[in-house]
Amino acid sequence: MPIAVACYKWVLDEDEIRIGNDLSVDLEKAHGKISLFDRSAIEAATRLAESHAEFTPVALTYGTDDTEKSLKDALSRGLEVGYWVTSPDAAESDGRATAKALAAAIARIDDVALVFCAEGASDTYARQVGPRLGVELGWPLVTSVLSFEVDGDSVVATRKLEDTVQTVRVKCPAVICVLQEGFEPRAAGLKAIMAANKKPKEHIELADLGVDAAGLSKRVALKGFSMERKHIVIAEEDVGLAARELAGALRKEGVL
């Protein structure tokens, strides 16, 4: 039975992060959640299983021991098995380290046909893990996917690019990075949340995978961002004149 793996990241809720007047960042009261973009990867794997009953959708995440809290949410969204890889150093991992850890875990799962990722996580949006995962596995990679169909041993994906829409076909197994607009996640119902408690979970220590998941970059500082606004007021009563004045101001700033 082919497996569809949905990769996701457990991140801090940005609505609970506080920025001080000195631009210091307070993370103490921020709780964890599945990255908003990664919920679309889960949705993609779930939809695949709904339309192709032969597929089993599973969850895969990499993080510290704290990521165990994410499994109930992930499994309540339609996934059937939860795999979580942990390391004390995972909180400081970059895209390279995360991709290596995920690839090593995927290699231990039999019959993986498709791996779904988001374009990027909602905390860093570095857009590194999906492409690096394709390289680590040596599988075809398709990014910016708006929709897809499985056709035999291949997947046909529609990509939304900056100025065009592209359709590509790749052989499975493959890595698919989905866009949020094409895979709007559904909220889990109470029955699904209760059922998630009984679904199987497998904990994997990074040390047991025998992989060097050292990162190439390290965060050295974290600071809030402050945007200076010019507070330009257009007082023209005539709508046409006001629109032209606005357009002129935007052109001056290089926006248009």
CA 50 to chain centre: 21
Backbone phi, psi, residue 49, to 5°: -65, -30
Task: Report helix, strand or coil for 256.
Answer: coil
> What pLDDT shows up at residue 169?
98
Q: Could you say which DSSP state residue 69 is in?
A: G
Nearest partner of 114 among 171, 169, 165, 183, judged by Cα: 171
Per DSSP (E only), the strands in 197-245 are: 201-205
**Mean pLDDT taken over the chain:** 91
Question: For residue 1, what are the CA distances in angstroms to 110, 112, 153, 163, 229?
Answer: 9, 9, 13, 38, 56
Cα dihedral angle (9, 134, 44, 46), rounded to 10 degrees?
Answer: -80
Q: Is the peptide bond before 57 cis (omega within 30 degrees of 0)?
A: no
> What pLDDT shows up at residue 123?
84
The 10s digit of each residue's pLDDT in 96-130 is: 999 999 999 999 999 999 999 999 988 888 889 99
> What pLDDT shows up at residue 108?
94
Least confident of 101-110, 127-136, 166-175, 237-246: 237-246
> What pLDDT shows up at residue 99?
95
Spatial separation of the C-alpha atoms in residues 191 and 220, rounded to whole Å = 44
Residue 22: how many other CB atoms lie within 10 Å: 7
Judged against a pLDDT cut of 90, whether residue 48 lies above it is answered with yes
Q: Could you say which DSSP state residue 124 is in?
A: T
Judged against a pLDDT cut of 80, whether residue 27 lies above it is answered with no
Beta carbons within 8 Å of 147's beta carbon, 6+ residues apart: 157, 158, 182
> What pLDDT shows up at residue 155?
97
Q: What percent of the chain has pLDDT over 90?
A: 64
Task: Report helix, strand or coil for 54.
Answer: coil
Range among 28-32, 191-195, 219-223 rated most confident = 191-195
Question: For residue 75, what are the CA distances in angstroms to 32, 68, 81, 183?
Answer: 16, 12, 7, 17
Q: Could you say which DSSP state residue 77 is in?
A: T
> What pLDDT shows up at residue 226?
73
The 10s digit of each residue's pLDDT in 52-109 is: 999 999 999 999 999 999 999 999 999 999 999 999 888 888 999 999 999 999 999 9
Spatial separation of the C-alpha atoms in residues 147 and 109, rounded to whole Å = 25
pLDDT (average), residues 130-159: 96
Could you tell me whether strands 201-205 and 154-160 are parallel, antiparallel, or unpaired per DSSP bridges?
unpaired
Full-model pTM: 0.84
